[in-house]
């Protein structure tokens, strides 16, 4: 995870991002993930909407394509994030390149924070899981962005699509409750969840990028184990988490969570769009 601060310019973010990708490769990374909306550093608060919307870039811009070429050069997958130019309004987007430089996923944040300035974004339409070819083999990878994690349905859909690893670009304080959300999503879906946040030098962020492997029980242990395999400190840096994919797959073949014992016929209310008190909000789009 690249827990790095933006520089204040698109060109500076590109230069710093490339440098940090090279550092991550030297550390042994197979998948590199940026914090949320790295192209403009998620700098959308306390600014005129038209000003930050003008910083949106095309998904095939030189900024994005540079990371595609870099992924091929370094033989690593790279998840780069951007404020994407889109109509009628920009999107909050992750583009995932595989180690061959192929664009395998473009995911736009589904749950935009419509209670605040993100209501001026276009929300994504769906969740996606792809088969990602890595240096150590193929892995099924899904994505959600920041506020998406606060809805259990996001990770649940990705699990149902077969995701083994969920990538989560982030831009907010990762305190005990938000970390607990991620721990819970990994536990209930038997998926690994990797979250990359901005460091504590960025306003309203505090680092603590994390990785949860989702493996709660092992035969050799009497009780449950801590599924957290990485929690960074608040500072800027490149952080590496090592996932035992074979252990995760064996766990998914045998444990009771995920999709084994769900009662889908009892969940019809989940598809009802009605919002009742006390949850009615004027700013809901």
What is this structure's pTM?
0.96
Smallest CA-to-CA distance from 146 within 259, 130, 131, 121 is with 121
Is residue 261 classed as helix, strand or coil in its secondary structure?
coil
Give the model's pLDDT for residue 142. 98
141 pLDDT higher than 90:
yes
CA distance 8 to 14: 11
For residues 138-164, average pLDDT: 98
Smallest CA-to-CA distance from 189 within 142, 121, 240 is with 142
Query: What is the number of structural domains in the chain?
Result: 1
Confidence of residue 136 (pLDDT cuts 50, 70, 90): confident
CA dihedral of residues 159, 165, 171, 173 (deg, nearest 10) = 90
Q: What is the DSSP letter of 57?
A: B
- 144 in any annotated domain: yes
The terminus-to-terminus CA distance of the chain in angstroms comes to 33
- 248 in any annotated domain: yes
- 285 in any annotated domain: no
Give the model's pLDDT for residue 252. 96
- 226 in any annotated domain: yes
- 278 in any annotated domain: no
69 pLDDT higher than 90:
yes
Q: Which residues pair with 274 in a beta bridge?
A: none
CA distance 112 to 38: 16
207 φ/ψ sector (left φ>0, alpha ψ -120 to 50, else beta): left
Range of the domain at 99: 2-271
For residues 245-263, average pLDDT: 95
- 281 in any annotated domain: no
216: phi then psi, degrees, rounded to nearest 5: -90, -35
285 pLDDT higher than 90:
no
Confidence of residue 284 (pLDDT cuts 50, 70, 90): confident
The mean pLDDT value of the chain amounts to 97
- 91 in any annotated domain: yes
- 263 in any annotated domain: yes
**CATH number of the domain enclosing 216:** 3.60.110.10
CA distance 18 to 94: 16
């Amino acid at each position: 995870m690249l827990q790095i601060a933006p520089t204040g310019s698109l060109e500076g973010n590109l230069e710093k991002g490339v440098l940090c990708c090279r550092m991550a490769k030297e550390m042994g990374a197979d998948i590199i993930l940026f914090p949320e909306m790295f192209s403009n550093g998620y700098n959308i608060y306390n600014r005129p909407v038209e000003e930050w919307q003008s910083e949106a870039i095309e998904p095939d811009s030189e900024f994005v394509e540079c990371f595609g070429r870099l992924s091929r050069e370094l033989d690593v997958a790279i998840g780069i994030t951007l404020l994407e130019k889109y109509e009628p309004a920009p999107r909050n987007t992750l583009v995932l390149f595989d180690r061959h430089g192929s664009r395998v996923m473009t995911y736009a944040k589904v749950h935009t924070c419509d209670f605040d300035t993100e209501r001026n974004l276009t929300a994504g339409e769906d969740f996606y899981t792809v088969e990602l070819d890595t240096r150590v083999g193929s892995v099924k990878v899904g994505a959600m962005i920041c506020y998406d994690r606060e809805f259990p349905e996001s990770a649940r859909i990705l699990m149902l699509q077969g995701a083994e690893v969920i990538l989560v670009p982030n831009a907010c304080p990762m305190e005990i409750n938000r970390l607990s959300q991620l721990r819970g999503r990994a536990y209930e879906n038997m998926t690994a969840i990797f979250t990359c946040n901005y460091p504590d030098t960025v306003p309203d962020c505090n680092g603590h990028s994390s990785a949860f492997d989702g493996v709660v029980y092992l035969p050799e242990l009497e009780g449950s184990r801590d599924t957290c395999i990485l929690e960074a400190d608040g500072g800027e840096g490149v952080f590496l988490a090592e996932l035992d994919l074979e252990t995760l797959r064996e766990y998914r073949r045998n444990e009771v969570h995920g999709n084994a014992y769900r009662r889908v016929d009892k969940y019809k209310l989940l598809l009802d769009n009605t919002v009742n008190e006390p949850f009615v909000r004027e700013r809901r789009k």
